[in-house]
Amino acid sequence: MTVNQSLNAPATGPGPTARRHGRARLVVGYLAIAAILPYFLLKLAWLAGSTVGIATTSPIDADVLRGGNAVTMALEVVAAFIILAFTHSWGLRAPAWLVLAPAWVGTGLLAPFILTGPVVAGSGSAGDGSLEPWVGPLVYLGFGAQAVGIVVSFVLYVRARWPQALGGRVQDRSGGPYQPALDFLLAVMIVLFAVVGAARAMWAGGSGAGLGEDRAAGRGPAEQMADAGTAVFAVAAAIGLWMLIRRTPGRSRTWVPLVMAWIGGGALFGSGLYPMVLLLLGTAGLGPGGSGEGLVPFVDLTQVVVGTVSAVTGVFLLVGLGRCPVGSRRLPEAPQAPDALGDRRTA
């Protein structure tokens, strides 16, 4: 049996444990989809011409707003599809790349809101100042709930489809022919993580160095919390990748650095990509504190670069472990039998 066939095999048997895990995936998945609905319906209302939640006319061009609303609404549809794939059995047969790539990006875009959502909800500040006070809490708490839902759904999905990816210990990975390249990439990523972490920690502490006058004047607790969260994600990704590449401490469970690298790298990529897109579209300077001046665009770009490199590195690491599901296509037809722990092994 090939590695891909082994990885494609369903992981859980038909016993009580498997049924319990299946029910948990259903409950968590549909709770996550429920968290999507308020934001989705609000965007739908705005596209239909409703002014619900809008206090004053936005300074941003109306066409740009409509395009942004359409794109973000479409992203929520994609998020719902991913969660459904995590929730139902047909998702276990989906091509791995079709699930993992958007899930990583989605996790990265949403994870920062776990921290900033409660802060924005408490401050009532959101957007460009044109929205009603209740919109911020609705949107950002919803994003935080979506982030928790998609992460938990993903963990349950991986546990069902590839239990070996969350099992074993760090020392199990053999060096392999890619080890020198991985060591080099690790050194480069550590430098980039340090740049991002230091800059974000400095801004989270209240420093205005490198921000530019407009951006520094428009900052509040939510922006500082976002910077603090990004610094934490940079540290988490660096530690996770260090543990995986250097295989130390060897007795550590593999799932710990995998989760740290997955969420940390994705969060850096997502929180850097979004403002970079706004800057390229020419809308970055239209909101409060949204100027493209200063060092912020450079740090955002650094996050996108190091996030991308961490994702590519992660694929090579998983291949080295013999656990990478990339390239998986469909479930094998071979008969399977549950072992004593309830996992299914190909007979």
Model-level pTM greater than 0.75?
A: yes
Q: Looking at residues 141-148, what average pLDDT do you find?
A: 88
Query: Is residue 57 over pLDDT 90?
Result: no
Of residues 106 and 237, the one with the higher pLDDT is: 237
pLDDT > 80? residue 117: no
Query: In the block, which residue shows the tokens 């656990």?
Result: 323
pLDDT on residue 282: 65
Domain spans of the chain? 15-161, 168-211+220-333
